[in-house]
Amino acid sequence: MTESWATSFGVDLHLELADGGLRSGLMDALREAIRTGRLTPGTRLPSSRSLAADLGIARNTVADAYGELVAEGWLTARQGSGTRVAQRAAPRKAAAPAAPRSRPARRRPQYSLMPGTPDLGTFPRAEWLRAARRALTAAPNEAFGYGDPSGRVELRTVLADYLARARGVHAHPDRIVICSGFAHGLMLMAQVLRARRAREVAVESYGLDVHWSLLTERGLRTRALPLDELGTDTRGLDREGAVLLTAAHQFPIGVPLHPDRRSAVVDWARATGGLVLEDDYDGEFRYDRQPVGALQGLDPEHVVYLGTASKSLAPGLRLAWMVVPDGLVAEVLAAKGAMDWVCGTPDQLTLAEFIASGAYDRHVRGIRLRYRRRRDQLVEALAAASPETAVSGIAAGMHALVELPGGMERPVVQAAAWQGLAVEGLARYRHGTAPGAGRDALVVGYGTPPESAWHGALDALCRALP
């Protein structure tokens, strides 16, 4: 995934700051970005408050650096229009005859609205460090040895409580297995299914190809089920070993699975002995008043629930959890033990403390508000810029589906690239066996950009729309 400018800029600055002062490091980095053309004349810079928040430095430091660069002529500052790169800031290059161009030069993506990643600047560093200090201080020595493949009991215990309270999951610590991301949990389930002689897993018409590949690489065929406005239609399920569903918020279309279909898929599992693999990747982020609980609550003996910290905290943690039917725990642990892929115990203990102390709930509430605000701004900006454009899938999560007229998906993704914006079209997420016609749409990951780049990304998106 392409990094947004502000994020990569933050990393550059961080390296610079190690050698010199914060202010001079920031000024050097800004001058360099202007000199090399990464920041073009007229570009509006983030406010000192949001850049300071992204870089984790004092606002005054940013304000001082901006002030000096204005004095040097690199930037301009005007009441009401913020701080911008000065029109003639970059030293003029020796004039080379300009080749006639039929369209503007394609810019390196400055912004990203690619779905899949939360705003990494929201990672609660200070609270996480406090939780780590408390957890590691209290940890017994044995916690630093080779771990139990099911994961630390401290984490499984608080998760059982949290998942029951927040997601309606029937969870006992003995039925929870900690894994290294949803992807790892899915790999384990593929291994279990193969050992049970399953050949095929039904999947949704739209999803992530990396997940389908994890199944096929382990000898399981995938076949897509139809999808309509009620969610995935599971009536065509037959003797598949399992069905993989994003029931609370279909990825990436965004519909929740209709209650009748939730019951129907559980009935299928009971009748055939098949398993429902529930990918609850963004269940914490629901914005309307009707919470959509986990499907697992309907039948914990036939549903394997998979949750992850990748959206609510950060994908880099590689921490996730499975809640497994009683009769399946031993098989999952055998698969996990065989891989010798135990997640690091210090992070498990820290997450346990983070949840138990209430910091996780506070963090989720805080970022839920932030994403909700962005979602509202997205809907508002699109309505103003392109009134015909429908936005859907917005009741939850951190991405939205922006519907496009037929045939417009590729041109709009291309137009976004000219605007310096990386964004993904829906076709990228369609399974090869999906029935029916595809739709033209963008999958807009509004959770992705850092706060300082959010408005720039939104403007670029609006400019790219027909």
Ligand X SMILES: Cc1ncc(COP(=O)(O)O)c(C=O)c1O
Binding site for ligand X (CB under 6 A): 116, 181-183, 208, 246, 251, 279, 281, 308, 310, 315, 320
For residues 116 and 393, which CB has a smaller minimum distance to ligand X in the complex? Answer: 116
Respond yes or no on whether the N-terminal peptide bond of residue 387 is cis (omega within 30° of 0): no
CB of 130 to ligand X, least distance (A): 24
Cβ atoms of 23 and 39 closer than 8 Å: no
Q: Which is nearer to ligand X, 116 or 420 (CB)?
A: 116
Q: Which tokens go with 38?
A: 């990464």
CB of 254 to ligand X, least distance (A): 11
Ramachandran angles phi, psi of 100, nearest 5°: -65, 135
Rounded to a whole number of angstroms, the minimum distance from the CB of residue 283 to ligand X is: 11
> Hey, what are 77's tokens?
């500052």
Longest dimension (CA), the chain: 76
Distance CA(276)–CA(279), nearest Å, equals 10
- Least separation in angstroms between residue 245's CB and ligand X is 10
**Which among 157, 350, 182 has a CA at the least distance from the CA of 281?**
182
- Reading the block at residue 287, the tokens are 């914005």
- Nearest partner of 132 among 317, 312, 315, judged by Cα: 317
Place of tokens 């809640």: 323
CB of 348 to ligand X, least distance (A): 15
Minimum CB distance to ligand X smaller for 50 or for 180: 180
Distance CA 300, CA 417 (A): 45
The smaller minimum CB distance to ligand X, of residues 183 and 335, is found at 183
Judged by CB, which is closer to ligand X: 61, or 232?
232
Residues with Cβ within 8 Å of residue 45, at least 6 apart in sequence: 39, 51, 66, 75, 82, 83, 84, 85
Q: Where are the beta strands (DSSP E) in 50-187?
A: 75-78, 82-85, 111-112, 176-179
Q: What are phi and psi of 77, to 5 degrees?
A: -130, 125
Smaller CB separation from ligand X, 170 or 399: 399
For the record, the structure tokens of 134 come out as 């408390």
List 200's β-bridge partners, or say none.
Answer: 221
Question: For 358-424, where are the alpha helices, taking DSSP H only?
Answer: 359-385, 409-418
Q: How far is the CB of 251 from ligand X (least distance, A)?
A: 4
CB of 207 to ligand X, least distance (A): 6
CB-closest chain residue to ligand X:
181
Smallest distance from the beta carbon of 273 to ligand X, in angstroms?
25
Query: What's the min distance (Å) between Cβ of 105 and ligand X?
Result: 32
Residue closer to ligand X, measured from CB, 84 or 374: 374
CB of 287 or CB of 418, closer to ligand X: 287
Residue with tokens 């920041």: 39
- Considering the complex, state which of residue 65 and residue 401 has its C-beta at the smaller distance from ligand X: 401
Give dist(CA 115, CA 30) in Å, integer.
Answer: 28
